[in-house]
Amino acid sequence: MNYVQASDDYLMYLEVEKNYSVNTISSYAFDLKLYGEFLIKNGRSLDLDKLTTSSVRRFIQDQVINHGIKPRTLQRRLSCLKSFSQGLIFILINLPVFIPKNLLNKIGF
C-alpha cells in the first residue's frame, strides 16, 4: 500500500469509524498532504514499508525551520502523524480479504 491510498483510507476511517468532526478531518487531510508533499520534494519513497521515523523528524524540522509554524500547529501535525500510524494498524488488520467465488463453492459456502 502506498502513502496516498493509506492516507485516503485513514481519513475515511476517521470519518466513518471514529466519527471525527469535519474540521478535524480537514486539518488532518491538510497535514497528511503536507507530509506527502515533503516526501516527494525530498525524494523519499511513498511506500509505507519505506517510511521511517527519520522522515517524520525531517518533516517536523522542515516545518519549524522553513515554514515557522507555531507550537500548537506543530503539536497537531505530530498528533496527526502519530494517529495515522496507529490508524494504519487498525486499517491493515481489518482489510477485507478477497476469496475467489470458485474457492468458496469448493468449501461449501
Reported as a single tens digit per residue, the pLDDT across 31-55 is: 999 999 999 999 999 998 888 889 9
Distance of CA 7 to the CA centre of its chain: 4
Query: What mean pLDDT is reported for the chain?
Result: 86
**Residue 105: is its pLDDT beyond 90?**
no
Domain 3-106, CATH among 1.10.1420, 1.10.3470, 3.90.105, 1.10.150: 1.10.150
Predicted pLDDT of residue 45: 92
In sequence order, the β-bridge partners of residue 90 are none
Domain locations in the chain as residue ranges: 3-106
Global pTM? 0.80
- Identify the weakest region by mean pLDDT among 3-12, 73-82, 83-92: 83-92
Percent of the chain exceeding pLDDT 90 equals 65
Quote the radius of gyration of the chain (alpha carbons, Å): 17
- Has residue 109 got a pLDDT over 50? no
Q: Which of the two residues, 31 and 86, has the higher pLDDT score?
A: 31
